[in-house]
Amino acid sequence: MPVNHYFQGGNGIGDQNEKRLYEDLIVEGLKIYGHDVYYLPRTLVNRDLILGEDTTSRFDDSWLIEMYIETSEGFAGSQELISKFGLEIREDTTFMVSKRSWEYQVGQKASLIASGRPNEGDIIFYPLMNSFFEIQFVEDQEPFFALGQLPVYKLRVTRWEYSSEQLNTGNSQIDDNETAYSLDRLAYQSALENGTFGAVLGNPVVTGDQVTSIPVISGGEGYITAPTITISSPSATINAVASANVTGDTLTSFNIDNIGRGYSSVPTLTLTYVSTDTSTKTDETAIITLTDGQVTAISVPTINDISSVTSVSISSPGGAVTATAQAILSNGVIDRINITVDGSSYLGLSPTVTISENTDATGSLLLENDSADGQVQYFINEDFDIQTQSTYANNTDLDTEAGFDTASTLDDILDFEERNPFGEVDL
């Protein structure tokens, strides 16, 4: 049979240029007739070496690549199947992907369990259907192919049954399915708590260099006395530093060399200088502007007789003040947190807030929930008292009442002094 001399040049089964052209045509065909899908390599977390499973595996990356759906007329496989586990829908299909494209777009970048080829167990996300498919088998050695090479992988896949795997690819279209298909175990568990139904507080709000509020995430329950709120100390204060600029004999401006930190009130600037009449003078009329406890501007007083500047000093901000707060209760629940002292020198800090343990709460069975208002709900809330047993059974009296150890054994229930209590009749 004559062959196409453009592809069968006599150098074996086609030379490298012919093979490259053939592969280029396949890649172009996949780009024309295929679809963009995401390839998700599986990362094993805790593999069962006996069964070969990993129920806690995760998917950390996704790689966009074109693939062609070979069974475009519909899904293959067993379809609807009724088994002892109920109705199952097994939808299979085959994705075709270029070996060259896969190696360039996935193989060189992804961390694979078995390198060099697509892996069984990896996931393909098909955005057009918003569906996931799990690779069951990778066909890379079909017996019939042209030019001595097979330029594609055929991935036999089935609908993926999600089972609590983690999706952390950074693609919200993919990762949001973890929330849609999984259950929050904490929302449905029951846990035995004992005297720990305390409130949960959020991060304090710092405005400027002061603590202005503390949000209440959960008010707890069972408080009789308000718990103690403790706010961490601020950083140390820093004294502001300035210098004067003189043109001729006139004060023209101030340079703020250090804006300082922790000023809760406007400090005083003292200018000491030698006047043109050689006397030493001081001036404290400059007005300092504070922003968030720091010096941001200094006004310039009118001074026209300066011969030289001796010093420019700004008064100290004093010590940093630690903020304090008080919990306000309403029916045993923390309703809000009042800031009693807003403190100072918290600029740029995120102080920590701690709350003392709720020693007033009673033992309860807590039913976790995720209610919008953050209130803790209880399944059972009851105190238990352990009663001490004061009297016990008296075996001697029990034996007498049963007829044991008496002159006659006719009324005995069981007399183990006999050789066989179930044997001969006692005459």
Q: How far apart (Å, rounded) are the C-alpha atoms in residues 197 and 186?
A: 16
Query: 401 in helix, strand or coil?
Result: helix
Comparing 100-104, 186-190, 337-341, which segment has the lowest mean pLDDT? Answer: 186-190
Q: What percent of the chain has pLDDT over 90?
A: 15
Assigned token pair, 421: 């209590």
Q: Is the distance from CB of 295 to CB of 198 less than 8 angstroms?
A: no
Site of tokens 């006004």? 299
Q: Which residues of 308-340 are buried (b: 16+ CB within 10 A; e: fewer)?
A: eeeebebbebeebbbbebebebeeebbeebebe
Q: State in Å, rounded, how far the first CA of the chain is from the last one.
A: 116
Max Cα–Cα distance, the chain, nearest Å: 144
Comparing 178-192, 273-287, 347-361, which segment has the lowest mean pLDDT? Answer: 178-192
Report the predicted TM-score, pTM, of the whole model to 2 decimal places.
0.41
Residue 216 pLDDT more than 70?
Answer: yes
Closest CA to 271 of 288, 285, 256: 285
Q: Is the distance from CB of 217 to CB of 315 less than 8 angstroms?
A: no
Query: 102 in helix, strand or coil?
Result: helix
Q: How far apart (Å, rounded) are the C-alpha atoms in residues 11 and 147?
A: 11
- More confident of the two residues 370 and 260: 260
Q: Is the distance from CB of 35 to CB of 126 less than 8 angstroms?
A: yes
DSSP conformation class of 425 = P
Residue range 110-151, pLDDT digits in tens:
888 888 889 888 999 998 888 899 988 888 776 556 666 678
Give the best-scoring range by mean pLDDT among 256-265, 293-302, 358-367. 293-302
Residue range 340-391, pLDDT digits in tens:
988 877 877 778 888 888 776 655 444 445 555 555 554 444 444 444 444 4
How would residue 196 be classed by pLDDT, with cut points 50, 70 and 90? very low
